[in-house]
Amino acid sequence: TGPVLEIRDLRVDYGFGDDPTHVLRGVDLTLHRGEVLGLAGESGCGKSTLAYAATRLLPPPGLITGGEVWLTDREGNRNDILGLTDAQLRAARWRDVAIVFQGAMSSLNPVFRIGRQLTDGIRAHRPGLSARDLEARAAELLEMVGISADRLRAYPHQLSGGMRQRVMIAMALALEPQVLLMDEPTTALDVVMQRQILEQIMELRDRLGFSVVLITHDVSLLVEVADRIAIMYAGEIVEEATAADVYRRPRHPYAHGLLGSFPPLHGPRRELAGIPGSPPDLQRLAAGCPFAPRCPHAMDVCQQVRPVLGPPRTGEARRVACHLHGADLPGDVAFPAELA
């Protein structure tokens, strides 16, 4: 259960020239083998950028300006994704790391049958397969995601949104990748369908043994399916802990607010608090903590010094980028009870 994907101090700018926007500002994240890592945050916090950058699919004007991404392949070799040649990268993508993009289900071509789109995808990577083998594999993939193989002859418009999204997941799993990155895979679907699809992905994870990075703005979904959760704000990770710890005792004031913004899936309904204010303009980030303008606990030090996501404190599995949880809490500040 070693690491399969390691992201180190990853930095991304948008825009060239003298005044680029720092969209990822040094992200550190480790995905362990077999694990489901949830990545949550409001839209614009850099979640999708992280997925695109880690797989080198970042479209211009996005530019990786620093950091490292390491992928451990099936044979146990650690490969530097940012250092791969384009040919090596094409081979690694889908075979080692596959992505289900945000809005993927609308990227099916409306004029081709599902079977053709599935087999085209497989053929691109397994040119040796016969037409029969291709079709058999396409049928197998479709059934794997709970769709009857006779739907191979259907056109995309003949499938529901949930089915189309399952087809995209089947395509991503076609080469049995070790890492599946999913960016808002169920956001366009209703709650019941969301749950069904996520449950199915988790079943497949147990059966096939891949690891998952699940990106969503809806942290309540992650609480159910993720092993660990990382919360992003303004291009950095502000809290990372087990799903249970994040859910029961979020420690970063932003994580606390985010958890209060979604109704729990189970248990008593709670008052939705939301987080007053809006995410910062990344072009004009002041020194200090990026959450300070919205933080109910901001202190003087927060205006001056940017808190960093250090290593976990002894005896803890959690990392928090907030001065309240640092060693340098001013003596006259009472620790907020809700974050204890």
List of residues contacting ligand SF4 (CB under 6 A): 252-253, 289, 291-292, 295, 297-299, 302, 307, 322-324
CB of 304 to Mg ion, least distance (A): 31
Question: Which partner in Mg ion, ligand SF4, none is near 48 (CB below 5 to 8 A by kind)?
Answer: Mg ion
Task: Name the region of 26 (left: φ>0; alpha: ψ -120 to 50; beta: rest).
Answer: left
Distance CA 183, CA 98 (A): 11
CB of 238 to ligand SF4, least distance (A): 7
- The Cα angle at residue 54 between residues 50 and 56, in degrees rounded to 5: 115
Distance CA 325, CA 303 (A): 16
Coil/strand/helix, residue 297: coil
CB of 44 to Mg ion, least distance (A): 8
Nearer to Mg ion, 10 or 159 (CB): 10
Question: Which partner in ligand SF4, Mg ion, none is near 58 (CB below 5 to 8 A by kind)?
Answer: none
Nearer to ligand SF4, 123 or 249 (CB): 249
Name the residue whose CB lies closest to Mg ion. Answer: 48
Length of the chain: 340
Distance CA 121, CA 106 (A): 16
Nearer to ligand SF4, 193 or 299 (CB): 299
User: What part of residues 39-98 is at the interface with Mg ion (CB under 5 A)?
Assistant: 48
Question: Which partner in Mg ion, ligand SF4, none is near 324 (CB below 5 to 8 A by kind)?
Answer: ligand SF4
CB of 32 to ligand SF4, least distance (A): 27
Nearer to ligand SF4, 136 or 305 (CB): 305
CB of 320 to ligand SF4, least distance (A): 8
Nearer to Mg ion, 46 or 290 (CB): 46
Question: Which partner in Mg ion, ligand SF4, none is near 279 (CB below 5 to 8 A by kind)?
Answer: none
- What is the chain's alpha carbon radius of gyration, rounded to the nearest angstrom? 21
DSSP conformation class of 293: G
CB of 284 to ligand SF4, least distance (A): 17
Strand order in the sheet with 3-14: 21-32, 3-14, 62-72, 78-80
CB of 40 to Mg ion, least distance (A): 11
Q: Which segments within 110-245 are labelled E, that is strand?
A: 179-183, 211-216, 228-233, 236-242
Nearer to Mg ion, 13 or 135 (CB): 13
Distance CA 92, CA 84 (A): 9
Question: Which partner in Mg ion, ligand SF4, none is near 302 (CB below 5 to 8 A by kind)?
Answer: ligand SF4
Amino acid letter, 251:
R
Q: Is residue 296 exposed (0-12), middle (13-18) or buried (19+ Cβ within 10 Å)? A: exposed
Cα dist. 185→10, 168, 232, 234, 243 in Å?
A: 23, 9, 18, 22, 19
**Could you tell me if 31 and 37 are in contact, meaning their C-beta atoms sit under 8 angstroms apart?**
yes
Nearer to ligand SF4, 166 or 323 (CB): 323
Cα dist. 54→9, 15, 210, 212 in Å?
A: 11, 18, 17, 14
- Give me 298's structure tokens: 């901001």
Nearer to ligand SF4, 53 or 295 (CB): 295
CB of 295 to ligand SF4, least distance (A): 3
Distance CA 63, CA 181 (A): 20
Q: Which residues bind Mg ion (CB under 5 A)?
A: 48
